[in-house]
Structure 1
Amino acid sequence: MKLGSPGRWFDIPPSDRTSILPAFLILYAALYLAYGTQSAYLPAFLQSHGLAVEQIGLVLAAGTVIRIGAGPLTGRLADYLEARKQLLALAACLSSFIGLTYNLAFGFAALLVVSMLHAGATASLAPLSDALSVAAARERAFQYGWVRGAGSIAFIGGTLASGQLIDRFGLSSIILTSSVFFLIMAICAATMRGPADGPHSAEAYDGGAIRALLGIAAYRRLLIIGFLVIGSHALNDTFAVIQWRRAGYDNLSISLMWSEAVVAEVIVFFLVGPWLIERLGVAGAAALSAGAALLRWSVMASTSEMSALIGAQALHGLTFALLHLAAMGIMARFVPDRLAATAQTIYGTGALGIASAIMTTASGYLYGMFGAQSFWAMAACCAIALPLTRRLKVP
């Protein structure tokens, strides 16, 4: 079964298409507007509320740890109760109201508590949204890439809007705006119509969900591939701008190259990705993603020439967005519906969260010792992942 194959869109009654798709578009737009509005300037906000630079790092790191644990726990609860939509609405509502308390908190202890609570509330939002939207796509309601691509566009919009908001209303405005978008997401999740839940199964309550998921060979390999390929982006996310500044590029050039990667991501989510998965399958798409990442980091390690960097940034659509689409397809094909939310949260906040934490920490040491040559280590991670993709074929 294809994940939201374009041709099957026309087999769905128009009333179903128009009633389901807009709700998911609003859901993803609200989620990523909330993220985009807040994420870039949150460190500056924390500093304005009395935190030193070292304390900001501790607060953000604590949030990462909480997300790694809270995401899978919430996903498992959603599957156990067979209440993914309800848990998503509750988590989004909590994200909104807890987020507002940032404006009331000053000093390390208070901001640490708020940050950890907010991280716990937001941890499952994207994976639970993916679990719902992949199920809807599997019912042939729409292309998953459409809603995820809309999220990427919304993130850009939120990031751009945040600067304007701060200039006019101050740093506290991003907290308020982000909380409003989380609340819109909660309302949308609570009222949206999606695929009907399946019948209750005793296997959903046997307490062996993790063992069951890890018993699925394709899912195990996906966790490893995601850890290596998506995790390899940590060095780029942390040090690419520093490297480009060292190479003498001005801020405009850097901004354009960074924006190019986001545009490539959106193009793959909307257009290229579904076409590639239709023709290559999920295994071929994952292999292409790992190979593109291997090429991308090899270029970054080898040269700082503008033309080469432009090409490397264009590969972001393949190295991130295509693998994300392949991952959704793999989970749609191999993971039982009763474990969908658990699988999404273990992959999205568990494996990828741990990968980000480990790779970001390692990147600091690697870049400090080897500079741009440290991208060879990221290329090696993708080379290790490449042969694993051959075992993802649909039986």
Structure 2
Amino acid sequence: MPVPTRFALLFAAQFAAVGVLMPFLPAVLAGQGLGPEQIALILAAGSAVRLLAAPAVGRGADGFGDARTILVLAAALAACTVTGFALAQGFVALLLVAVLHAMVNAPVIPLSDALCLGAARERRFDYGRVRSAGSLSFILAAVAAGQAVQGFGVTSVIWLASACLALTALAARGLPPLRRGGGGRGGFRAPFASPAFRRILPLSALIQGSHALYYGFATLHWQAAGLSPGVIGLLWAEGVVAEVALFLWGKPVADRLGAAGLAALAAAAGLVRWGVTAETSWLPALAAVQLLHAVTFGAQHLAAMRVLGGMPPAQAATAQTLHASLGVGLASGLLTFASGPLYAAWGGQGFWAMAALCALALPLAWRLKRALRAAG
């Protein structure tokens, strides 16, 4: 089987797990008798653990020199621990399950990215095209999970997620042996020696973090404006389909713009997207700006992968997991927490705050361009 196909299967399996679990885990916890505050605490605990666990495992993978083995082990353990959400009873037990699952599952996506970027550099295939399998799988898995919930109850998504994570471990086992020859030096500080790495962290924090209000409250905002659940679902799907299209066919544009140009484009698109979302719930306008998800999320993701793909191989997993935690996870978590009071106070006008984050990112894209130019 060709190496790009193996990585496509890996991304498809792991994002299928995300697609079935993310929309329905709160409902699973509610079905176990937990109240809103307890559910929020369990979800927050998992997020906090991921911020710490992913870089630690990434650093260990670089030191060990075989990220593939670490990935197989992490995915297999995640397939086991996620079943605890169906089996455990009571708040304390479910909190323990959430912490354990977050600990082992945290490095799965960033390690997959690190391995895929290394293989793409060595074997000259398009990372974005391969990564599109994950986005497409997310859509299909979310739809399948909804059908499973209707037919078999909400707990069925836990067993689906476990199966997807087990398939992730099998797919990782089928990757070529991409040994790096361990001994990555410098610990967590090593990636920060790269000016481009230091620049991409705040860019990802601002641009990817600007999606926090959208992820948390766009559905509520559009429902309040009178849009039907079916229409809202189509708006969400449209954004992910646009993202898939960029990953599949956007390489010529990405090559022309480079990492800094992609980041600048993502920031500019965020200004437009969140400004329009703040000012109107007119369906044609929303349908138009939802296409910009390909840019606000997709282009920034590709920009980050281009920077991280240029890191020394012995620092690849550490850089990926630090970016996932500090560049995306921490900012998204804090901004999601802030989005509740923001939406309560300002409603849809709160999207202007998200636009402001993108405005702050624009000059940082220029600094990234200078850092990349100086490096090479």
TM over 0.5: yes
Find out whether 1:120 has 2:103 as its counterpart.
yes
Deviation string 1:227-274 (CA, Å, 9 cap, x unpaired) is 0000000011111111111222122221111111111111111112x1
Alignment of 1:239-318 (within 5 A): 239-272=217-250, 274-318=251-295
Gaps of 5+ in 1: 1-17
User: Shift of the alpha carbon at 1:199?
Assistant: 3.9
Q: Give TM-score, length-normalised by structure 2.
A: 0.95
User: Shift of the alpha carbon at 1:147?
Assistant: 2.0
Letter in 2 for 1:72: P
Secondary structure (helix, strand or coil) at the match of 1:139 reads helix
Gaps of 5+ in 2: none
User: Segments of 4+ in structure 1 off by > 6 A?
Assistant: none
Letter in 2 for 1:154: S
Tell me, yes or no, if the aligned pair for 1:134 and 1:332 is still in contact at 8 Å.
Answer: yes
Of 11, 17, 31, which aligns to 1:28? Answer: 11
Residues 61-70 or 240-249, more deviating: 240-249
Partner of 2:317: 341
Letter in 1 for 2:330: I
Q: Give TM-score, length-normalised by structure 1.
A: 0.91
The alpha-carbon distance between structure 1 residues 50 and 131, as it changes in their structure 2 partners (threshold 3 A), is same
The alpha-carbon distance between structure 1 residues 211 and 32, as it changes in their structure 2 partners (threshold 3 A), is same
Partner of 1:187: 170
Identity %: 44
Deviation string 1:338-395 (CA, Å, 9 cap, x unpaired) is 1100110111133311111111111111111111111111111111111111222333
Letter in 1 for 2:108: L
- The CA distance in 1 between the partners of 2:266 and 2:61, in whole Å, is 31
- The CA distance in 2 between the partners of 1:108 and 1:199, in whole Å, is 44
Partner of 1:227: 205
Partner of 1:330: 307
Tell me, yes or no, if the aligned pair for 2:84 and 2:94 is still in contact at 8 Å.
Answer: no
Find out whether 1:70 has 2:53 as its counterpart.
yes
Letter in 1 for 2:229: N
Find out whether 1:355 has 2:331 as its counterpart.
yes
- The CA distance in 1 between the partners of 2:182 and 2:292, in whole Å, is 43
Letter in 1 for 2:202: I
Of 375, 384, 388, which aligns to 2:360? Answer: 384
Of 86, 93, 113, which aligns to 2:76? Answer: 93
The alpha-carbon distance between structure 1 residues 198 and 84, as it changes in their structure 2 partners (threshold 3 A), is closer
- The CA distance in 2 between the partners of 1:191 and 1:259, in whole Å, is 31
- The CA distance in 1 between the partners of 2:350 and 2:65, in whole Å, is 45
- The CA distance in 1 between the partners of 2:109 and 2:359, in whole Å, is 28
Deviation string 1:66-105 (CA, Å, 9 cap, x unpaired) is 0111011111110011120000000000001111222220
Alignment of 1:52-201 (within 5 A): 52-194=35-177, 196-201=178-183
- The CA distance in 1 between the partners of 2:168 and 2:340, in whole Å, is 35
Deviation string 1:129-187 (CA, Å, 9 cap, x unpaired) is 00000111111342111221100111111111111112222222211111111111112
- The CA distance in 2 between the partners of 1:291 and 1:30, in whole Å, is 33
Letter in 1 for 2:242: A
- The CA distance in 2 between the partners of 1:267 and 1:116, in whole Å, is 35
Let me know the Cα RMSD of the aligned residues. Answer: 1.4
Residues 211-220 or 71-80, more deviating: 211-220
Letter in 1 for 2:199: R
Partner of 1:364: 340
